[in-house]
Amino acid sequence: MARHELRFPGESDEYRRARDDLLEAELALRRATEAVAAQRRELPPGGAIPEDYEFDGADGPIRLSELFGGGDTLVLYSFMYGPEMERACPSCTSIVDSLDGAAPHVEQRVRLAIVAKSPLARLQAHADTRGWHNVRLLSSAGNTYNHDYFGERDGSQRPMLNVFGRDGDAIRHFWGSELNLTAPDPGQNERHVDTIWPLWNVLDVTPQGRDGDEPFPRLAY
């Protein structure tokens, strides 16, 4: 049973009973989250990449294989900012605002990069307005990565999180945020990258919760 003896100042018996019930639900959710993560880690080998994509990076052209450095795992987030878009996606921007702070910690274990279809100079200009200094930025303007790994569908840019692993001499796709490719449950959007998006995780513990219409973030307030 999920119980403890500590009490917050002024709480009622009614509050404690309801909170203990919620504590059980939170414990079940944590267990389910751990079980899903374990199931994910047991996935069989994914498909080998069809080509060693060349991106435009801060130091010039760089191949996907080179992004691994000396590691075995690479996380790529497809950022919605195509050359035809007037501005970068506010939701993707909110996500990368957070990832930029987390990047030095993440990179102790795996490599991380942000991929967008816009030319690198345009992507970097947006990054400068946000104060991003830690995340690696890559332009996929010269390759089909976005299309092949569902960061682009029907000519439109889409958010997508993909993980790749080095398997000997081969590079294989490990996992992608495929909830973005399915029909959402009633009243929800796809919520395919919520686990890396602190905004909603913070709001979920407030009395207001997420707004019923779940409005997307803005670039300025």
pLDDT digits (tens, 9 = 90+) for 92-116: 999 999 999 999 999 999 999 999 9
* Buried-state track 142-175, b at ≥16 Cβ within 10 A, e below 16: ebebbebbbbbeeeebbbbbbbbbeeeeebebbe
Q: Give this prediction's pTM.
A: 0.93
Computed from CA positions of residues 133, 136, 141, 142, in that sequence, does the dihedral angle turn out positive or negative? positive
Taking a C-beta distance cutoff of 8 angstroms, is the pair 78, 149 a contact?
yes
- pLDDT value at residue 215: 59
pLDDT digits (tens, 9 = 90+) for 49-75: 999 999 999 999 999 999 999 899 999
Strand, helix or coil at 111?
strand
Q: What is the mean pLDDT of the chain?
A: 93
User: Confidence band (pLDDT; 50, 70, 90) for 187?
Assistant: confident
- pLDDT value at residue 217: 87
pLDDT digits (tens, 9 = 90+) for 123-157: 999 999 999 999 999 999 999 999 999 999 998 99
- pLDDT value at residue 213: 59
